Chains A and B, each alone.
Chain A
């Protein structure tokens, strides 16, 4: 059974610092890995999707890497801003699109 773990559970950084969020999964037979952002009481906003054949994806200040063989992904957010405060979720999918989620990392960026 696939298990997704995110470390740390919570993170507080001053504005301008880079953020490093970690995700690990137990079964390397994944199809996609997707990072989401969730604001309190809101839905999930897709940030980056990495297909299993890819090693990384970039979008603006965000960069996500994937090492499928070791079951790890890392989300980097450069030059953090207070608006980046949210919970970040990692999820991995099988070939039919069913996603298994981690518990998330709650990020606070202080001005």
Chain B
């Protein structure tokens, strides 16, 4: 069964360092998302991406964050200068389409980011 895959599963980094989290969405999906979950808190929307551009972003997604689809399969989240409060589980998700279809969201297993 097709699935969303994420790497790395766990990354530990020093405050101020750059981090890139990688995702391979389901191949025929068109919408891609990043969500995060701080330990013990709700899953929060960060950004959605369609047709090679950001379609929506939350107030959390500030200038320190960026997303990219460098090729036909990968979808990356970059945090330029990590802060302690960026420590969280980051989930990539994809859906076949948002409007005019089911828009069912499929999640990866997550990348746990620990900032020291």
Interface, chain A (partner B; CB < 8 A): 31-32, 34, 36, 41-46, 49, 51, 89, 91, 93, 95-104
Q: Is the interface of B mostly helix, strand, loop or mixed?
A: strand
Distance between B93 CB and nearest chain A CB, rounded to angstroms: 8
Residues of B within 8 A of A (CB): 31, 33, 35, 41-45, 48, 55-56, 91, 95, 98-99, 102-110, 112
- CB of B94 to closest CB in A, whole Å: 10
**A-side contacts of B110, CB under 8 Å:** 42-43
CA distance A93 to B42 in the complex (A): 15
Which residues of B sit under 8 angstroms from A46, Cβ to Cβ? Answer: 104-107
Verify B108–A96 contact, CB threshold 8 A. Answer: no
* A96 and B45 contact, Cβ closer than 8 Å, known pairs A32-B104, A42-B110, A43-B110: no
Q: Which of B43, B45, B102 contacts A51 (CB 8 A)?
A: B102
Q: Given A32-B103, A91-B43: A97 and B48 within 8 A (CB)?
A: yes
The one of A31, A42, A44, A89 in contact with B103, judged by C-beta atoms closer than 8 angstroms, is A31
19 interchain pairs, CB-CB under 8 A: A32-B102, A36-B107, A43-B91, A44-B43, A45-B107, A46-B104, A46-B105, A46-B107, A91-B105, A93-B105, A96-B55, A96-B98, A97-B48, A97-B98, A97-B103, A98-B33, A99-B105, A101-B42, A104-B42
